[in-house]
Structure 1
Amino acid sequence: MSTPLLEQISFELKSLQGSMLEASARFQDRISELAPVNINSARNLIHYLVLRNTAAQDLQYQLHELGLSSLASCESHTLRQIQVTLERLGVEINSPCPCTMTFGAQKIEDGRERLFGPKAADWSNSVMVTFDKSFLDQPEWILRLMQNGMTVARINCAHDDEKTWIQLVQAIRKVSKESGLSCAIHVDLAGPKLRTLLLKKGKSAGRVKLEPGQSLWLSDSGAGFSGKDVVISPQEEGVIGSLKVGERVYMDDGLILCRVEKMTDRGAKLLVERVSTKKFQLKNEKGMNFPDSSLAIPSLTEYDESCLSFVANYADTVGFSFVRMPSDIELLRDKLSKRTDREIPIILKIETREAVEHLPDLLLEGMRSPDFGVMIARGDLAVEVGFERLVEIQEEISWLCEAAHVPVIWATQVLESLHKSGVATRAEITDAGRAALAECIMINKGPHTLEVLRSLREIAHKSRAQKIKNRLIFRPLKIAERFFEVNK
C-alpha cells in the first residue's frame, strides 16, 4: 500500500466532498423551500448527482483494491459514505453528514408505509393490484388478494366510470374492515390519450394494412384527403403542430416505426420504416409515442380535472400520468388543494423521455410535499427511450429515487406470462427479481393473479437478501450532467 496512492485517493475524496458541499450550498435557497422532513434527502440527492457527474471509475477500483468502500451502494447516504472512507484514511471530519445509511434506509421505509400502508405478513414489499368493474361481482376474490399480499388497490381512471370507481372503493373498504387487512386506494389519472383513429382508408373496418416504405398522414381531420389515403388522428390537439421533419413516431407499443417526412397545412406526412407485426396491420385505439418531440399538450387534461373530485374524496395516493415538468406537479397540487384540505401524495409516473431528462427537478419539486412516490411505468417508457435502453434507464431512475429517499413502484408486465397462462418465462423470473427490490410492485388483474402473488413473495425474499451484494461502477450519467447544465 503505497503512500502516494493513499494521498491521491484522499485528495480525490476530499475534492468530491468539497464539490458536494459547494453544490448543496448553491442550491440552498431551493432546498429551504421544501418540506422540512425532506431537507436532508434533497441535499443527499444533490450530493449523489455530483458523484454521478464525475468519472469515478478509477477511484472506485483503487478503493476496492485497498479494501476500502468503493462507494458502490452509497445512493442513500452519498456524502457520509465518502466521509467514512476518509476517516478510515486518517482524515478528521469536523461536520459529519447526518444522512447516514441507516437514516436513508429508514426514510425510504417510512415513506413507503405512509404511502402504501403496512406490508402484508411475510412480505418485504407492498403490492398493488389493478382493479376493474369485474371485481364488483366477486368480493371473495378481493379478500383472497388481500390474504395473499395485496395492500394497495389501483383504480385506473382511463377505464370504467366514476360510479364504478366508487363502488370499487366501497367493496374494497368493506372487505378490509371485515377482514382487518389493510388496503390503500391508489387512483391513476388517465393523462393524454394518444391513440390512433383511422379517418380515411380502413375507417369502416377499424384497421389498415401498413408496409415498410409506405406513406401515411397524421391529421386532426380527414379534410383534403382521398379515400385511398391512410390518415390517422392522434386524438389530441397540439400533437401534429409540435412535430418536426426527421422525428420518430411509434404506434402499437412500438411495433410500427414511422418518421416524419414532411410537414404541410394538411398535417404531417410519415414514412413507415418498420412494421413488426405478422399481419402488417394497424388498428384503431393503438397507443402512439413521439420520443423525439416536445408535444404542446397539457399533462393534466380536462378529463383528468373532471376526475379530481373523486380523487379528493377517495384516493390515498394519486398517479400523475404523463408528468414532464416540475410545473405539472405544481398545477396538480394546486387543483387538488381546491377540492380537499387533505394533502394527497402524488405518484409521479415516469413514462416519457422528458420525464427522465427532468427527473432530478421533478424529485425536488415533489419534495415540497412531505410524501410522494415514483412509478417506473415501463410500458410507454420502453418505447420512448428505446427497448435496448430500458434496463439502463429504469436502473438510473431507481438510483436517483433512492438518493432522494423516494419510494418506487415497479410497474408493467411483471410476471405477465404467469398472469395470463399460469407459467412464467425464465426472463420474467429474472425481471421479477429486480422488481422485488422496489418498495412496491404493481401487477395487473389476470386469471392467475394468486400464483403471481405467491411467486413474487418467494422471489422478493431471495432478492432482498442479496441486494447488498450489488457493486456499481459510477460512470457519469447524462441526467446528472444535464441537471447541472440547466441549473448553472
Structure 2
Amino acid sequence: MRIKVEKLKSLLEQIDEFLLAINEAEKHQLDSLEKVAKPYRKSARNLVHYRAFRTFDLRDFQKSMRDLGLSRFANAEGHIRASLLNTRLILQALIKDDGKQLLKSGLSIKRARRLLASHTKQLLGYRSPGRRVRIMVTQPSEAANNYELVEQLVKKGMNVVRVNCAHDTPEVWWAIIENAQRAAKASGRKVKIAMDLAGPKIRTGAITEGPEVRKFKPLRNELGQIIQPAIILLVPELGETSAENTLPVGQLALDDLAIGDELRLRDTRNKKRKISIIDRNAEGHLVATCRKTTYVASGMVLEHSKASGKVLVVGKLPPKEHYLLLKEGDTLQVTRAAIPGESAVYDQEGNCIKSAHISCQLPEVFNKIKKDHTVLFDDGKIFTKVTEVNEDYFQVTILRASEKGAKLRAEKGINFPQTELGISGLTAKDKEDLKFVAQYADIVNFSFVNSKADVEELFVELEQLGALNQLGVILKIETRLAYNNLSEILMTAMQSKQVGVMIARGDLAVETGWDNIGLVQDEILAHCSAAHLPVVWATQVLENMAKNGLPSRAEITDTTTSLRAECVMLNKGAYINDAIELLDKILKDMEQYHNKKEVMLAKRTKLSVS
C-alpha cells in the first residue's frame, strides 16, 4: 500500500499539536500537581495530559490512524503522552524524517498498567485467583447474627464487605465486621471492610397513616370456587415479625377458645362473617379459617357462637401504608414543614379542590429551587416541573408517570438535576459515623460528593481522626454536578494515598438522564483510567439473580461490561450466594478474552440541562 507523504505529515502535525496542548496544560496545573500525594504524582500528571488531549475531536484522526494500521489511542488513557511520542516516531520513520530522537515519555505503557494494578491492590486488597476484578457485596442486617451466611459469601469469592451506615446501628455494624473477619481467617482469605456514609437524605417525608385493618381472602379458581379458605392465626399480640395473616386477641381469649369453636362478626363493610377454629399450633396459637373475604380492624368485636354474650376484641393492628397516586397533569405540593402527606381532594364532579402534598426531608432545598426546574421522584419514575415557588412549599406538575398513575410513598428519593443545592456531602450523622468507620473499616465510601470542596472537607475530618492516608476513600459519583466536576474532584482526591471511584449508576442515570448514562459512565471510566484509579461498578448488577434466583439477559450483558472496572458491587438478596458464584464465573471466563477495555469518544463537553 502506497502511503501519501502529505497524509503522514498531516498526522504528524496533529500529534505535535496534541503534545503542545498537553505540555501547556501541565504548566497551568503545576500548583495542583505539587499538592498531589507522591504515589499519585505521575498519575495526576497523566490525567492533566488526558484532559488536554480530550479537548480535541479525535474521530477523523482515529479513522486515519486506523487506515494506516496504527494506534487509534482507544486504550491509551493511562499513558497518553508515551503513546503519542511512540506514534510520532513511527510516523517520522514512515516519512523518513531525520528527527528520530527518542524523547523521554515519563510514563511507559507497561508502567501505567502497573500503577493501576498497584493502586487497586492498595485500596481493594488482593484479587482472587484467576480474576482481576474484585467483588464487593452489601451486607444484610442478618449478617450480624448469621456467621454461616458471611462465611459462604467469603468462600464464594467476596473480596470487599460493604456495610451501609444508612441502616442499622454501630452494634450491628461491628457484629457484621467481626463475622467477616472471622470468616476470612477461617477460609484463609483476606477481605477489606468498606463502609458507606449515608450522606444528605433527600427523600419524601411521612404520609398520613392508613386504616388499621387487615384483609383475609380465600383462594379461588377461575370458576370462582374456593380452593383454599383464608388462613387466620390468632395470637396474644403482634410482634415485629408477625405475618400478615395474624390477629391479636389476647392470651385470655386464646385460653378460652377450642378447636371447633366459631367466631362471628360484622366486618368493616358491615358484612356478616364467620371464623372457624381448626387447630392449635406448637406455640399455642389458634389456626382459623374464613371462607369469605373479610376486613378486620383494630378494636373489632368477635362474638363467641357457643357462649352467648362472650366476646373477643381485636388488638391494635399496624396501619396500612398509604401512598399518593399521581397521574400526568396532576399537581403536587412539596412542603418544607414535616406535614404528613395526603392525596388530592376532588369534588363530586371530579374537579381537584385541593392538591396532593408531601414533605421533603431536606429543608435546604427550598432555598435553591426555582420555577421551571425539573424534580424527579422515586428513581425517576415520576418526572415533574416546578410551576410555583413559595417560602413554605413549591408546587410541581406531573409531566410523566405510569399509564395508570404512579404511587409515591414515604422515604422515596427526590432528585434535583437542574438545581445546585449547595449542600455538603458530609452531614452531622456522617461525621459521627466516620469515627466508627475510621476505627474499624479499611475504606470509606463517600456519598453525595459534588465538588473538590466536599473532598477537602472529608480529608479535614479524616486528618482530625488520624485516619488520613490510613483509610481508603471511594468517591461515589451519583450526581450531574459530580460528573461535571469530575476532573477537579479526582485531582483533589489524589492528595490522599488510597483513592477510588464508585459509579453509582442508579442516581446517576436519574440525574444525568437515561439517554446520557452510557456516555457518562464511559467518561468516568476513561478519566479514572487516565488517573490510574480503581473503579467500582455499582447499582443493580445481577439484581434479579440476587433477589429471585434467575438473571435476565440484560444483566448478563451488563456484567460482562463491568470488566472495564476493577470491582463490581452486588446488593443483598435471598440468592446472593448464587449471584456471587455466577459473577465469579463470568468474570473469570471473560477475562480470558478481555482485560480493561475503554474507548475514545468525541470531544468531551459538560452535560447541558434540557
TM-score interval (norm. to shorter):
over 0.9
**Relative to structure 2, which stretch is displaced further, 13-22 or 452-461?**
452-461
Tell which deviates more after alignment, 405-414 or 131-140: 131-140
Distance between the aligned counterparts of 1:443 and 1:211, measured in 2?
A: 33
Report 1:88-127 matches (<5 A).
88-90=90-92, 91-127=99-135
Whether 1:346 and 2:473 are equivalent positions in the alignment is yes
* Match among 578, 589, 594 for residue 467 of structure 1: 594
SS at match of 2:429: helix
The alpha-carbon distance between structure 1 residues 200 and 241, as it changes in their structure 2 partners (threshold 3 A), is: farther
Query: C-alpha separation between the residues in 1 aligned to 2:607 and 2:64?
Result: 23
Query: Kindly tell me: are residues 160 and 471 of structure 1, through their superposed partners in 2, closer, same or farther at Cα, counting changes over 3 Å?
Result: closer
Does structure 2 retain, via aligned residues, the 8 Å contact 1:291–1:385?
yes
Q: TM-score, normalised by structure 2?
A: 0.75
TM-score, reference length from structure 1: 0.94
Q: Secondary structure at the match of 1:478?
A: coil
**Deviation digits for residues 384-417 of structure 1 (CA, Å, limit 9, x no counterpart):** 0111211111111000000000000000100111
Q: Is the Cα–Cα contact under 8 Å of residues 199 and 222 in structure 1 kept in the other structure?
A: no
Unaligned runs of 5+ in 1: 482-488
Letter aligned with residue 221 of structure 1:
A
Match of 2:36 in 1: 34
How do 1:206-245 and structure 2 match up within 5 A? 206-221=322-337, 228-245=354-371
Change (3 A) 1:219 1:93: farther
- Cα distance per residue 1:150-175 (max 9 Å; x no partner): 01100000000111111111111122
> Given the superposition, is the C-alpha separation of residues 52 and 462 from structure 1 closer, same or farther in structure 2, using an over 3 Å criterion?
farther
Q: In the TM superposition, what whole-angstrom CA distance separates every residue of 1:246-291 from its partner, at most 9, and x where no partner exists?
A: 1111111110011100112331111111112755321111111111
| CA distance 1:193–1:222, change in 2 (3 Å) | closer
Aligned residues: 481
The structure-2 alpha-carbon separation of the partners of 1:479 and 1:84, relative to structure 1 and needing over 3 Å to count, comes to farther
Structure-1 residue corresponding to 2:555: 428
Contact residue 505 and residue 539 of structure 2 kept, 8 A: yes
1:140 to 144, 148, 158: 148
After superposition, residues 354-433 of structure 1 pair within 5 angstroms as 354-433=481-560
Q: Structure 1: how far apart are the matches of 2:598 and 2:197?
A: 37
Aligned residue number for residue 486 of structure 1: none
Distance 1:470 1:169, change over 3 A: closer
Cα deviation code 1:317-368 (max 9, x no counterpart) = 1011000010111111111221234521211000000000000000000110
Mapped partners of 2:334, 2:432: distance in 1:
28
Residue 417 of structure 2 is matched in structure 1 by 291
Q: How does 1:157-236 map to 2 (within 5 A)?
A: 157-198=165-206, 205-221=321-337, 228-236=354-362
1:11 corresponds to which residue? 13
Give the AA of the match of 2:52. Answer: V
* Map of 1:23 onto structure 2: 25
User: Where do 1:279-318 residues align within 5 Å?
Assistant: 280-318=406-444
Q: Deviations over 1:209-235 (max 9, x none)?
A: 111111111111168x99844222220
What is the alpha-carbon distance in structure 1 between the residues aligned to residue 419 and residue 67 of structure 2? Answer: 46
Query: Could you tell me how far 1:94 is from its partner in structure 2?
Result: 4.8
* Post-superposition offset of 1:123: 2.0
The structure where strand makes up a greater share of residues is 2
Q: Deviations over 1:89-122 (max 9, x none)?
A: 2253553212222111111111111111111223
Supply the distance in 2 between the matched residues of 1:283 and 1:121 (Cα, whole angstroms).
Answer: 45
Paired residue secondary structure (1:40): helix
Match of 1:454 among 581, 591, 604: 581
Contact kept? 2:542, 2:559, Cα under 8 Å: yes
